[in-house]
Amino acid sequence: MNASSLTPIDETDHTQGPDDAPVTLIEYGDFECPLCGQAYPIVERLRRDYGDDLRFAFRHLPLNKVHPHAAQAAQAAEAAGAQDAFWAMHAALFKHQRALEYEDLKGYAEDLALDTERFARELDERVYNKRVQADLRGGVRAGANGTPTFFINGVRHDGDFDFDTLSQAITKAGA
Rule CB under 8 A: which residues touch other proteins? 1-3, 5, 62-66, 136-137, 140-147, 149, 155-156, 158
User: Of 39 and 114, which CB lies nearer to other proteins in the complex structure?
Assistant: 39
CB of 174 to other proteins, least distance (A): 16
CB of 14 to other proteins, least distance (A): 21
User: Of 115 and 145, which CB lies nearer to other proteins in the complex structure?
Assistant: 145
User: Of 1 and 113, which CB lies nearer to other proteins in the complex structure?
Assistant: 1
CB of 29 to other proteins, least distance (A): 13
DSSP string over the chain? --GGGSPPP-TTSEEES-TT-SEEEEEEE-TT-HHHHHHHHHHHHHHHHHGGGEEEEEEE---TTTSTTHHHHHHHHHHHHTTT-HHHHHHHHHHTTT--SHHHHHHHHHHTT--HHHHHHHHHTTTTHHHHHHHHHHHHHTT--SSSEEEETTEEE-S--SHHHHHHHHHHTT-
